[in-house]
Amino acid sequence: LAKTTQPISMDSYEGQEVNITCSHNNIATNDYITWYQQFPSQGPRFIIQGYKTKVTNEVASLFIPADRKSSTLSLPRVSLSDTAVYYCLVGLYNQGGKLIFGQGTELSVKP
Amino acid sequence: NAGVTQTPKFQVLKTGQSMTLQCAQDMNHNSMYWYRQDPGMGLRLIYYSASEGTTDKGEVPNGYNVSRLNKREFSLRLESAAPSQTSVYFCASSEFGRVTDTQYFGPGTRLTVL
């Protein structure tokens, strides 16, 4: 399983765009990149997943460069309720769903 | 539609006691998982069940046993609790266990072993 590296913490203010970058230098050809969000005292929740280029949903965008050695989760116009830990995971398509959660990035949004 | 439910929400045990954490999902998912999360850390996979009737070890299986009772239920048992097992335990499920399948998590069980 590819190892991921992401910042331990980030601070932002309401209304700003937040970009969290994840490094995964050893990503394999068949690996997908997935982001989960975890609020305090809750289980993680799926945000977005991608394989290459750009993916966008109602919550976030995921940018993946051509070499796929990194990816960036973009949260547009964050609010206080986006304060959470964000995990970047890289996994093979058919490996039994074994997800490796690193330490994640603790995002703190201030008023 | 409750999703993934876990019982109990909180539990305090003494060293050496045993207990079973219960997990159930109502989404007709094939795959189920047990994770633990220690303070300030990410989740670590204890055991998973790719489908009914199968179970496999994850990263940290020592001190735990699991039972996939049926398609809906997946229990985690601590036979002789130790203080090192103090943690928050999360159960999750996904449709087919593929990495492209979203994992849905329960609310967690906070376990303290004295």
Closest Cα in chain A, distance from residue B9 (Å) = 11
The reported pLDDT for the residue numbered A92 is 60
Structure tokens that stand for A43 in this block: 């289980």
Number of Cα atoms under 13 Å in the Cβ half of residue B13: 25
The reported pLDDT for the residue numbered B100 is 79
Phi, psi of A59 (to 5 degrees): -105, -40
Closest Cα in chain A, distance from residue B36 (Å) = 11
pLDDT at residue A98 is higher than 90: no
Which of A55, A85, A98 should one mutate to test binding to chain B, selecting the residue with the greatest count of B CBs within 10 A? Answer: A98
Lowest mean pLDDT among A51-55, A104-108, B21-25, B96-100: B96-100
- pLDDT band at A107; cut points 50, 70, 90: very high
pLDDT digits (tens, 9 = 90+) for B27-46: 999 999 999 999 878 889 99
- pLDDT band at A60; cut points 50, 70, 90: very high
B61 touches chain A (CB under 8 A): no
CB of A6 closer than 8 Å to CB of A102: yes
pLDDT digits (tens, 9 = 90+) for B57-111: 988 999 999 999 999 999 999 999 999 999 999 999 999 887 778 899 999 999 9
* Closest to B78 in 3D by CA, of B46, B101, B40, B52: B46
Between strands B87-94 and B104-105, the pairing is: antiparallel
Task: Categorise residue A93: left if φ over 0, alpha if ψ from -120 to 50, beta otherwise.
Answer: alpha
* Closest to A36 in 3D by CA, of A96, A100, A93, A92: A100
Q: Do A42 and B45 touch (CB under 8 A)?
A: no
B31 touches chain A (CB under 8 A): yes
Closest Cα in chain B, distance from residue A16 (Å) = 26
- pLDDT band at A56; cut points 50, 70, 90: very high
pLDDT at residue A31 is higher than 90: no
